[in-house]
Amino acid sequence: MNLDQSLRTEIQKALTALFNQTVDHVQLQPTNQEFEGSHTLVCFPLAKISKKGPEETARLIGEYLVTHTGFVSRFNVVKGFLNLVIADRVWMEVFHSIYANKNFGNLPANDQEIMIEYSSPNTNKPLHLGHLRNNFLGYAVAEIYKALGYTVHKVQIINDRGIHICKSMAAWKLFGKGETPHSSGIKGDHLVGKYYVEFDKNLKAQVKDLIQQGVSEADAEKQAPIMQLAIDMLRKWEAKDPETVHLWKTMNGWVYEGFGSTYKRMGVDFDKLYYESETYLLGKNEVLRGLDNGAFFKKDDGSVWVDLTSDGLDQKVLLRSDGTSVYMTQDIGTAILRFRDFPKISRQVYTVGNEQEYHFKVLFLILAKLGYAWAKECYHLSYGMVDLPTGKMKSREGTVVDADDLMQEMVDEAEKQSRELGKIEEATDQQIKELSEMIGLGALKFFLLKVDPKKRMLFDPNESIQLQGHTGPFIQYTHARIRAIIRKAETMGISPDEGYWKNVNSLEPAEREVIFLISNYIHKLNEAARDYSPAVIANFAFDLAKGYNQFYQSIPIFNEADQDKLKFRIAFSSVVADVIKRAMAVLGIQVPERM
């Protein structure tokens, strides 16, 4: 049963009976801890239709609900707030409906399809902390929609072509001496990244020399021989020069292999990959089509532009004067291709940092100008940058936090702390490894997901490896604790079949509180989906774990003499474990049986 819905219905009935009117929206909110009750009706707005003061209105509604419905056992009125105490028998019904629903937390398919893009790295350097936030966020949003019954397509666009990869290629050609991941023992993406750094180092030196020779700063970068080589490679690549294409394929291959293992460890996946090299030509054609039908215009030097001044934006280049495409060009092609591939999708979500807000504003306007009605279904899930205590991450200053390194550190730390706490003395090496992986990544994911995505966040390494308090491991620990209880119950032969615990008619406050939390799960999923905010679920899981721990500490389960109550508490505990597991799974976090 849906208590919230039922209450709203009853309240409307009360309004009709008492005042002969209804309202569009009844303001029902959780009751503050300091007052008795679980649901609070805000009665200030109702004073208008009752033609009485808020307190009097609240009292009348409260009395009606107690006498005319089976839900409310008593009530109190504080100012214009009507605090309702739901009967324990009703809470038991709420619990029962959750217990009996094997698919609680997963809604049936709703026949809607959406696409979620995330990750989408460049292929010239390894993934870093910013990508971790992006990936965990995109993955979690996708899982949230799946839980709500949507068919979800997880995709990414791989920026595999362009000047950035040519820079790595140029440096490798000059200094690489045939080095490969195999020969060097370096992970592919890191190896390619090494040459990207090498490129930058050499470019800087060459630019410095040129400036000393009297070349202007702006020209120096273009004239530097190593930059010339990279630009030449980009040109050759577009002309399909076999040698260049071969090198490009080889080095991208190294990167994909490296990314593959990183994604695997992160626990994220994709249903379909798009490659910029395969979409930019479509984008180019679309731009030319837009030029023909007057959506865009050409400047004297041959470059193609879109004028968005009537939309409050600027003019934006779509094709360079030499006819080559820019970032925007391929994004146009990619978007069109995706809607061709998946004509049923009703929304496309781009998980991309907020530094690109302008870009997406422009992109969506361009798609609309090209006549695509679905342009309005495109949404930029814009998230804030991850800052370090030392300030911004800057690849050029070497302050980026590498994704592979960070995950390893978290796992090592988890293992260290497990050992210190003496948790894993009887475990095998394999079990220790798996558990540390689960805890380390759980800590990392929770840390990055608990903050509202829109907000910029601070990544303090010391705080992120905390395993106590508002953390993933705290929740994982609660799950493990409950599982221990379930195991004990099983060895004692206690099985919570319905007949027994349905006789339970009174609840402890902690039990009531936890049932209330659980009953809000679907609501929280909807809220998280609406706001594209896994933080809602992260905080839900934390609150639930916290609530259960309060129950756990105040009530020794196996000391209970009443067998019906004992069985109820086993069932109750197993439901909590299950909901924690599901909520965490939606966040991409696994929970252990023991820890």
Partner RNA sequence: GGUCCGAUAGCUCAACUGGAUAGAGCAUCAGCCUUCUAAGCUGACGGUUCGGGGUUCGAGUCCCUGUCGGAUCACCA
Q: Where in 214-273 is the site for RNA (CB under 7 A)?
A: none
Q: State both tokens at 560.
A: 């209970």
Instruction: In angstroms, give the least distance from the CB of 21 to RNA.
Output: 17
Strand 151-158's sheet: what is its strand order? 272-275, 151-158, 113-117, 345-353, 378-383
CA atoms of 543 and 557, how far apart (whole Å): 21
Which residue, 430 or 559, has its beta carbon nearer to RNA? 559
Work out which of 398, 469, 493, 499 binds RNA, going by CB under 7 A.
469
Strands (E) located in 267-409? 272-275, 297-298, 304-307, 315-319, 345-353, 378-383, 386-387
29 is a contact residue toward RNA (CB under 7 A): yes
Instruction: In angstroms, give the least distance from the CB of 103 to RNA.
Output: 24
Which residue, 318 or 345, has its beta carbon nearer to RNA? 318
Q: State both tokens at 100.
A: 């009996």
Write the DSSP string, 179-219. --HHHH---HHHHHHHHHHHHHHHHHHHHHHHHHTT--HHH
Write the DSSP string, 96-115. HHHHH-TTTT-PPP-S-EEE
Instruction: In angstroms, give the least distance from the CB of 301 to RNA.
Output: 4
Which 3-state string (H, E, C) describes 439-486?
A: HHHHHHHHHHHCCCCCCCEECCHHHHCCCCCCCHHHHHHHHHHHHHHH
Q: State both tokens at 34.
A: 């300091």
CA atoms of 161 and 327, how far apart (whole Å): 10
* CA–CA–CA angle 524, 464, 156 (5° rounding): 60
Instruction: In angstroms, give the least distance from the CB of 454 to RNA.
Output: 6
Instruction: In angstroms, give the least distance from the CB of 107 to RNA.
Output: 19
Whether the CB-CB separation of 488 and 570 falls below 8 Å is answered with: no
3-state DSSP assignment of residue 119? coil
Work out which of 109, 243, 358, 498 binds RNA, going by CB under 7 A.
358
Which 3-state string (H, E, C) describes 37-83?
A: CCEEEECCCCHHHHCCCHHHHHHHHHHHHHHHCCCEEEEEEECCEEE
Which 505-534 positions form the footprint of RNA (CB under 7 A)? 527, 530-531
Instruction: In angstroms, give the least distance from the CB of 510 to RNA.
Output: 9
Q: Residue 387 is which amino acid?
A: D
31 is a contact residue toward RNA (CB under 7 A): yes
Which of 54, 59, 102, 149 lies closest to 574 in space, CA to CA?
102
**Stretch near RNA under the rule CB under 7 A, chosen from 24-32, 87-95, 188-196, 255-263:** 24-32
Which residue, 91 or 572, has its beta carbon nearer to RNA? 572
34 is a contact residue toward RNA (CB under 7 A): yes
Count the residues of the shown chain that bind RNA, applying the rule CB under 7 A: 95
12 is a contact residue toward RNA (CB under 7 A): no
Which residue, 295 or 484, has its beta carbon nearer to RNA? 484
**Stretch near RNA under the rule CB under 7 A, chosen from 129-137, 157-165, 179-187, 283-291:** 157-165
Contacts of 313 (CB under 8 A, 6+ apart): 358, 361, 362, 365
Instruction: In angstroms, give the least distance from the CB of 273 to RNA.
Output: 16
**Stretch near RNA under the rule CB under 7 A, chosen from 32-40, 97-105, 255-263, 289-297:** 32-40
**Stretch near RNA under the rule CB under 7 A, chosen from 10-18, 180-188, 191-199, 316-324:** 316-324
595 is a contact residue toward RNA (CB under 7 A): yes
Instruction: In angstroms, give the least distance from the CB of 473 to RNA.
Output: 5
**233-244 exposure pattern, b = at least 16 Cβ within 10 A, e = fewer:** bbebbbeeeeeb
Q: State the DSSP H helix or E strand holding residue 227, giving kind and residue range, or none if neither.
A: helix 225-238
Which residue, 345 or 383, has its beta carbon nearer to RNA? 383
Which residue, 249 or 488, has its beta carbon nearer to RNA? 488
**Stretch near RNA under the rule CB under 7 A, chosen from 90-98, 126-134, 171-179, 460-468:** 460-468
* Residue 491 exposed, middle or buried by CB count within 10 Å (0-12, 13-18, 19+): exposed
Whether the CB-CB separation of 141 and 116 falls below 8 Å is answered with: yes
Which 37-56 positions form the footprint of RNA (CB under 7 A)? 40, 42, 44-45
Which residue, 367 or 451, has its beta carbon nearer to RNA? 451
Which 76-95 positions form the footprint of RNA (CB under 7 A)? 78-81, 83
**Stretch near RNA under the rule CB under 7 A, chosen from 127-135, 144-152, 181-189, 539-547:** 539-547
Which residue, 109 or 421, has its beta carbon nearer to RNA? 421
CA dist 562 → 117, 500, 502, 504, 558 (Å) = 53, 10, 13, 9, 10
Which of 163, 164, 190, 169 lies closest to 248 in space, CA to CA?
169
Work out which of 355, 397, 412, 562 binds RNA, going by CB under 7 A.
355
594 is a contact residue toward RNA (CB under 7 A): yes
458 is a contact residue toward RNA (CB under 7 A): yes
Instruction: In angstroms, give the least distance from the CB of 182 to RNA.
Output: 28
Which 470-509 positions form the footprint of RNA (CB under 7 A)? 470-471, 473-474, 477, 480-481, 483-485, 488
Instruction: In angstroms, give the least distance from the CB of 60 to RNA.
Output: 17
Which residue, 345 or 579, has its beta carbon nearer to RNA? 579
Work out which of 265, 354, 434, 574 binds RNA, going by CB under 7 A.
354
**Stretch near RNA under the rule CB under 7 A, chosen from 146-154, 180-188, 282-290, 298-306:** 298-306
Whether the CB-CB separation of 538 and 449 falls below 8 Å is answered with: yes
Position of tokens 């605090």? Answer: 83
CA atoms of 216 and 501, how far apart (whole Å): 83
Instruction: Give the torsion through C-alpha atoms of 403, 404, 409, 412, to 10 deg.
Output: 140
Work out which of 119, 156, 159, 334 binds RNA, going by CB under 7 A.
159
Q: What is the CA radius of gyration of the chain?
A: 29
**Stretch near RNA under the rule CB under 7 A, chosen from 128-136, 246-254, 356-364, 400-408:** 356-364
Which 386-425 positions form the footprint of RNA (CB under 7 A)? 392, 414, 417-418, 421, 423-424
Which residue, 357 or 497, has its beta carbon nearer to RNA? 357
